[in-house]
Amino acid sequence: MSVVTESPPSNKTDSEVQSVLRPAGNRVRVSKSLESKQRSYVQKKSQQMRGPVSLSSESVHRRNASVDSSCSSDSSRRLSSVKMASFRRRMRHNGLKSVKVVPDGVEMPSLLPPVQLKRCDWITANTDPIYVSFHDEEWGVPVHDDQKLFEMLVLSKALAELSWPTILNKRDIFRKVFDNFDPASVANFTEKKILALKANGRALLSEPKLRAVVENARQMIKIQREFGSFASYCWSFVNNKPIKNGFRYVRRVPVKTPKSEAMSKDLMRRGFRCVGPMVVYSFMQVAGIVSDHLITCFRYQECNLNIQKDCKTKSENTEVLAKDLEKTCLSHT
């Protein structure tokens, strides 16, 4: 038997409370009169507890919305970080590299490996860094300073007993021993000083090579008096213009040439010692009288551009001197 129960009569009318079905569920629409009564009741209670305050449903809604938004943003951040970590793991598993996205205007350091410059084939990954710097900055650069040329001649002579990396690592010792490669100072070395340098081993060279350096400094002073400078003498063998070779392979680079043989023969005739054709050609290479960078080396183009600029400057200076000489001659006539 079914029993019918009667619900107690409600004190509220249908116009006051209505049940509304929405996608989010059943919500109750409160009439304006009840909302105003509730607001006044809350205001009275708040005034009794801590004085007059204004509390509205709008402010409560805003506070709740801010809390909800902060919570949702935190959860979204955590979710996005988890997704990103999972995405990176999958990329690493597949052998791919992740790409970091940054906002516009923000500079990030590049994660790509630096580009390796192509150098001459005798410079490898295991080459001494000081020799690499020497190749990149000095070797093949034209030199017109007498003191620098004397240094290059001494170091090229030392190649008969030492290698370039060893010479460069001990370059400061060479400079101290030979008074910063000042030809006038080295030319005044006495027999006592030569023996002292040989005894304590500071010269780093054998006694014949040490005596040859001192004798060459004395002969260099004579050439300076005759030609005005040692640079003028050396560059006269190539008509004051560097020789630009274009070899692709190391095996094609010579150890001596007719030009080096001619300079070697003339130096020995003038009293220089230990200046064979191979030593002279090494001197011509390092002094930039000959450019022997391989065409695959990045320094090949740079040295050739410098040579072109140097030749252009010299030609302009020659034209200026010719014009000045012509003006002088016309003024005297």
Element (H, E) at 249: none
Element (H, E) at 139: none
The CATH code of the domain at 142-325 is: 1.10.340.30
Query: What is the per-residue pLDDT for 4?
Result: 45
pLDDT (tens digit, 9 = 90+) per residue, 270-279?
Answer: 999 999 999 9
**21 beta partners:** 26
Query: What is the per-residue pLDDT for 78?
Result: 58
- Under the banding of pLDDT at 50, 70 and 90, the label for residue 215 is very high
pLDDT (tens digit, 9 = 90+) per residue, 279-297?
Answer: 999 999 999 999 999 999 9
Query: What is the per-residue pLDDT for 21?
Result: 36
Instruction: Establish whether 61 is an annotated binding residue.
Output: no
Q: Tell me how far CA of residue 12 lies from CA of 7, 8, 20, 34, 37, in angstroms.
A: 14, 12, 16, 11, 14
Are 250 and 122 spatial neighbours (Cβ–Cβ below 8 Å)? yes
Positive or negative CA dihedral for 236, 136, 152, 179?
A: positive
Instruction: Establish whether 93 is an annotated binding residue.
Output: no
Whether the per-residue pLDDT at 153 is higher than 60: the answer is: yes
Instruction: Establish whether 293 is an annotated binding residue.
Output: yes
Q: Which token pair is 242?
A: 């560097």
pLDDT (tens digit, 9 = 90+) per residue, 88-142?
Answer: 666 665 555 545 555 555 555 555 555 578 899 999 999 999 999 999 999 999 9
Find the DSSP H helices in 32-128: 32-50, 57-93
Are 105 and 250 spatial neighbours (Cβ–Cβ below 8 Å)? no
Query: What is the per-residue pLDDT for 276?
Result: 96
- Alpha-carbon Rg for the chain, nearest whole angstrom, is 45
Query: What is the per-residue pLDDT for 177?
Result: 93
Q: Domain boundaries in the chain?
A: 142-325
Q: Please indicate, yes or no, whether the overall pTM of this predicted structure exceeds 0.85.
A: no
